[in-house]
A and B are shown apart, each in its own frame.
Chain A
Amino acid sequence: MKPLHTAGSGDTAAHPLDDWRIRDEPWYAPVGDEIAAFEAAHARGLPLMLKGPTGCGKTRFIEHMAWKLGLPLITVACHEDLSAGDLIGRFLLDGHGTRWQDGPLTRAVRHGAICYLDELVEARADTTVLIHPLTDARRQLPLAATGELLHAHPDFRLVVSYNPGYHGVHKTLKASTRQRFTALEFGYPDAAREAAIVTHESGVDAALAQQLVGLAEGTRRLAGEELDEGASTRMLIHAGLLIAEGLTPRTACRQAIAVPLSDDAEVGQALAAMVDACIA
């Protein structure tokens, strides 16, 4: 599909969300029918949840889809202190008194954009419920502070990501939030596809990419036991980029994978030994 809005397309009036448009196509290798699934949800205005482990390509996918659909993309990294004001906006005080400033969610609702709430589960529960009226047929955002009832722009779409974690140890979404979304499940690609992604993104050759994937698969066996999660595709790309910069493969893997994965000294020793075993 051709992008609907791209830089230099001839529009002269600046759109308030121009800065949130993605100019160049983000490379994305589909692993299944997720593009068609996203487009179907988009066509019907349905909110979408992307589930999957960290660094498996969720954010890259949403960037690719925003580019493909020609929509601005406003991303909010959720955290445990994310307040309602951080999402919908707040009054600011200046020399002339108070003035209202839209938060990222309000901006997306008002002007039409994909609002991507990354790791929604990290946000406080009272913040999460704010999105409820936006996720059903109402498509409204009441702004209590200004007394405004904002009706969502036709181009507004809500996408959230969610990492269920391992063994249910992580926080979970409330059912009342969860059931408002359609969902796509993401995982790490199969070994051949993951090696191809690492090669494309970092420039390392196929043989080395295979070794990196072998190392990642080893670390993923430790997920939920010695590690919270195994090495992500993103970590492998980081290692590949360091190798392209001239580091030896083993040094790069220690820096990009083994050391960041764990602070436990003995797990660190095991990871270093795994690097040595997997990387020629």
Chain B
Amino acid sequence: MPASPEASLTGQRALGIYLSALWSVQPRLAALATQDERPRAILSRAGTRPVLHLPPAAATLTRARAAHAAAHLVWGGPPQPRAQLKPIQRVLLETLEDARVEWLAMQALPGLRALWAPFHVADASWGMGFDALLVRLAHALFDPRHEDGHAWIARVRRMFFTPHGQLALDTPQRLREAASLLGNDIGQMRLYFNPAGWRVEPAYRDDNHHLWSSDDSLPPSASELEREDADSHGGGEGDGTAERPPPQAIAGAGHGDGGAAALWAEAPLRTLKYPEWDRLIERTRTDWCTVIESRPLEADGRALKARLAPALRRLSRRDVRCHGGRPGSGREREGEVLHTDALVEAGIALRARTRPPARLYRAPRAAGAGRDLLLLIDASASTGHPCEDGRPLLDALREAALLAARVLEDEGHVVRIWAFASDTRHRVRVQHLKAERENALDVRVRARAAGLRSHGSTRIGAALRHAVAHPVGVRPAVLVLTDGEPHDIDVHDARYLLEDLKQAVREARRAGTEVHCLHIGPAAPAGLRHAFDAGRCQARADTGRLGEAVLDSLRGR
């Protein structure tokens, strides 16, 4: 099996973006673990989604490999039957097809020539054997200005290109006929070919396994993928590194339509690694947890809107009482509203022929506004349990977050809402329900909030590190909304994740981020309270007026 679950592919996300943007192809990228000293990439098109297996290599070679495979995906045809083609003819056809798709790719993206050219170094000094002639031919077809000097190579080039430098072998049928003819040439030249020892050259080209349809009447191919279960590569996720433990979900959570499998099938937007504190060895394990940002599901947010409206009116009245709902009393050099006291002082100063104050306007906002606030919702399976009013706790959490966000953004704060759940250290899912520039009551934000599902476990430390690593404004603060202690199915030491959370909070403090916690339940567990800084873990026994509780937690009341 070439794809190793533990092997990682450096620059996987960047490579995926590159292929998607320039080629409009999105093969799954997988690391190829192999002992072969001259490994080649393997492109599989057997499943519902192509899979490109890439051996470990320098970034340039990996990119050259990916670009070549993309050229096959974009300009290649369907697999062909091998029948009646001898090994020499097959490998000739592969060489011609490689040259054809690369020629087309370079017409569209002329910079690719510089990417692939350094790998084409074969010339007459490589010898006269068939293997050497093939590599020399690849060079001659890649670079029309390269003069190899061999008569047979010159003949192939005349077949391949028109006199005007265009492609002459531009259909699968013509390629196949040319390969048959050229194979006969090689036979007459009495050249020997050992298919078992052959490696496609140059090194960036894949093994061309994908060019051929499977044919049970023929002897098995030397290619490893031929023996592989095609479905094992069908349509998986973009993350080729993680183990895949079965996800957990609770029954009767009120959201049975989504299902656990559907949740993890969401396309990951990006994957990041974070450390985790191991209390037993008293060390941080680097790159231990994988946080997967995924696109939230969306659902009809109209019911959510109806429930939010009265609570928002209530909250707004309370907010006016608490904050006066007017510009602050501070003074500024510029502003909209003149500051009465400052004007009186200025008038007095002018009459007294002294210098009037420079700050004549009221500060536009209350002091302390403009903070970067992130509400981090625990969307683990337990939040699917009903709370006192019979609805799932998650309903109360999402409503409270939206309400608080609405009030806070009116005060001038930058507010985001994320949700997280985990499924072992390999999959800590984070979803952005509200970005910093969106209004809390936008249709899309409500749809995302309504689409949130209870699922998985509560690996708070990893989610918190991810939140702290991505501030968007000044004096950042994170509020974790949770119903329980940290927990995950691959951890059996009750203190392990609590100690990690404590460490994550310490790291956040060093990074200048305040971390608060609002626990919903009978009483916040002592371990949870101790993980946060003093006074920053509040508890609510029920979900009544949870929006106000969120605001109070952030305001330290």
Contact = CB atoms under 8 A, between A and B. Distances in A.
A95 B354 CA distance: 11
Central interface residue in B15, B22, B114, B439, by most chain A CB within 10 Å: B22
Contact of B111 (A81, A90, A275): A275
B216 interface: no
B438 A266 contact: no
A266 B113 contact: no
B21 A222 contact: yes
B113 A280 contact: yes
A26 B63 CA distance: 43
B21 A274 contact: yes
A74 B246 CA distance: 62
A148 interface: no
A95 B347 CA distance: 10
Contacts of B13: 266
A91 B343 CA distance: 12
Contacts of A273: 14, 18, 63
Nearest to A84: B336
Contacts, number: 87
A221 interface: yes
A85 B333 CA distance: 13
B124 interface: no
Query: Which of A168, A170, A226, A275 has the most B CB atoms < 10 Å from its CB?
Result: A226
A219 interface: yes
A29 interface: no
Interface residues on A, range: 35 or more
B17 A266 contact: yes
B60 to A, nearest CB: 9
A222 B20 contact: yes
Interface string B247-278: 00000000000000000000001100000000
Interface string A236-280: 000000000000001000000000000000110110011111111
Interface of A: 81, 83-85, 90-91, 93, 95, 97, 167-172, 211, 214, 218-219, 221-222, 225-226, 250, 266-267, 269-270, 273-280
Task: Kindly list the 10 A-B residue pairs having the minimum CB-CB distance in the complex, ordered from nearest.
Answer: A270-B17, A280-B110, A269-B14, A266-B14, A218-B21, A270-B18, A270-B14, A83-B336, A277-B109, A277-B111
Interface of B: 11, 13-15, 17-18, 20-22, 24, 63, 67, 108-115, 269-270, 335-336, 338, 343, 346, 350, 356, 360, 364, 435, 437-439, 442-444
24 contacts: A83-B335, A84-B336, A93-B343, A93-B346, A93-B360, A168-B443, A169-B444, A171-B437, A171-B438, A171-B439, A222-B17, A250-B111, A266-B14, A267-B14, A269-B11, A269-B14, A273-B14, A274-B21, A274-B22, A276-B114, A277-B22, A277-B112, A277-B115, A279-B111
